[in-house]
């Protein structure tokens, strides 16, 4: 892989191959300069890797070594790598790493400074800890899924952005970085128990506050940010496209009404909730009078908190995304550029997604494993 840059340069992370939020977290750390070595299985894993690995973009920027963690020599190899690592990322169900002999206590015995990151859906304990699940299940139990959607319809599924990546990967990354900073002061590592359910619950912090204050209604489309308010909603245009409006503040709402040619004196108060259903219908009728392109032109330069709802292809071509260089091409595949941006130690993508085990020899060698030991491990079947 290409050499490092970014604020995490010099940090070494062992990633135990998994799917979903764990790899996304590892991708973020690698983008920021961490030296991440991914340990994949020696047999076909069935971990959802596309037919062409280059499209599995969350595997980007780090080498993959195929190591059999059920082989005693594979476990010994993993321990030798963990001994020199600053952090570890694993995403198995509770108890799996312990059964492999690579649990937190096993690793702390060989590297007391290790920050041990654990990514699960339900957490390491509790009645659901050992149950299977995916993004949608954690979102459902958290209460978040029931808050998203339209009246008379099942809850809307917000892709896997909210739970897997928002409540999972980002909280794991935050926890790892916090623990790494603390370990530099104390010389002691610790376990970061990142449960997706915990993360989504944390993301709902503001909603819990509104709920306790009586400002959040349980029914769908009766709140400011859930499609209930006419000024914070999505509307269809004459050509069957859609636009998004978020004019919450009074000055932005006034600007919106002006562009829509609506007289505020003839309308109910902006926050008269009883009037919202009728106002939503009125707004919908107005937006149906023009095409999306015509609304784009009418809203240009106006502080109305307006945006067209774009497809992925349209988004990649949008001038703002282009100006920020937010999409970059790697091996013919569009990749989201590293985020956030750093002024002095810029993050960057250090190569595309690597197939499972594509870098066993070079990846292990970069971490100090000798050619002789690599040959021995291969002959023993501990690596592939």
Annotated active-site positions, please?
Answer: 134, 164
CA distance 261 to 246: 17
Q: Is the dihedral of CA 367, 373, 378, 381 positive or negative?
A: negative
CA angle 105, 191, 36 (to 5 degrees): 95
Structure tokens at 103: 């649990």
Bond into 340 cis (ω within 30): yes
State the Rg of the chain over Cα.
Answer: 25
Strands 306-308 and 242-246: antiparallel
Q: Which region holds residue 113: left if phi is over 0, alpha if psi is between -120 and 50, else beta?
A: alpha
Output DSSP code: residue 151.
Answer: T
Structure tokens at 198: 């915990």
Nearest to 373 by CA among 38, 55, 73: 73
Instruction: Catalogue the long-range contacts made by 104-111 (C-beta closer than 8 Å, 24 or more residues apart).
Output: 104/191, 106/79, 107/79, 107/82, 108/189, 110/79, 110/82, 110/83, 111/82, 111/83, 111/84, 111/85, 111/189
Strand order in the sheet with 242-246: 232-236, 242-246, 306-308
Per the listing, tokens 């998994």 go with 18
As beta bridge partners, residue 40 has: 66
Nearest to 284 by CA among 231, 221, 353: 231
Q: Give all strands (DSSP E) within the chain, no chain letters.
A: 12-16, 35-40, 64-66, 87-90, 115-120, 191-195, 232-236, 242-246, 306-308, 327-330, 333-336
Q: Distance of alpha carbon 180 from its chain centroid, rounded?
A: 20
């Amino acid at each position: 892989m290409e050499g490092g840059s970014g604020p995490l340069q010099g940090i070494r992370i062992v990633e135990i191959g998994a799917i979903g939020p764990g790899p996304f977290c590892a991708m973020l750390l690698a983008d920021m300069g961490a030296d991440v070595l991914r340990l994949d299985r020696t047999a076909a894993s069935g971990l959802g890797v596309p037919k062409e690995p280059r499209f599995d973009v969350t595997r980007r920027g780090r080498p993959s070594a195929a190591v059999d963690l059920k082989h005693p020599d594979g476990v010994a190899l993993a321990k030798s790598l963990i001994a020199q690592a600053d952090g570890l990322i694993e995403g198995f169900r509770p108890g799996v790493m312990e059964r492999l002999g690579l649990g937190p206590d096993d690793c702390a015995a060989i590297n007391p400074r290790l920050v041990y990151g654990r990514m699960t859906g339900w957490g390491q304990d509790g009645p659901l800890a050992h149950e299977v699940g995916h993004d949608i299940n954690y979102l459902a139990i958290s209460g978040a899924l029931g808050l998203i959607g339209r009246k008379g319809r099942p809850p809307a599924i917000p892709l896997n952005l909210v739970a897997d990546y928002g409540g999972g990967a980002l909280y794991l990354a935050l926890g790892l970085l916090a623990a790494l900073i603390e370990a530099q002061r104390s010389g002691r590592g610790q376990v970061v128990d990142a449960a997706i359910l915990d993360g989504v619950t944390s993301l709902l912090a503001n909603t819990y506050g509104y709920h306790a204050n009586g400002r959040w209604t349980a029914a769908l489309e009766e709140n400011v940010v859930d499609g209930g308010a006419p000024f914070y909603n999505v509307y269809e245009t004459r050509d069957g496209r859609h636009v998004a409006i978020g004019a919450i503040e009074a000055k932005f709402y006034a600007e919106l009404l002006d562009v829509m040619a609506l007289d505020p004196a003839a309308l109910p108060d902006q926050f008269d909730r009883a009037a919202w259903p009728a106002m939503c219908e009125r707004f919908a009728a107005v937006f149906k009078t023009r095409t999306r392109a015509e609304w784009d032109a009418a809203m240009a330069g106006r502080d109305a908190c307006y945006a067209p709802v774009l497809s992925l292809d349209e988004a990649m071509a949008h001038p703002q995304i282009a100006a920020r260089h937010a999409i970059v091409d790697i091996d013919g595949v569009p990749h989201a550029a590293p985020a956030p941006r750093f002024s002095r130690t810029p993050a960057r993508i250090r190569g595309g997604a690597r197939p499972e085990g594509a870098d066993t020899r070079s990846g292990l060698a970069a971490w100090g494993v000798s050619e002789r030991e690599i040959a021995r491990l291969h002959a023993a079947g501990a690596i592939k």
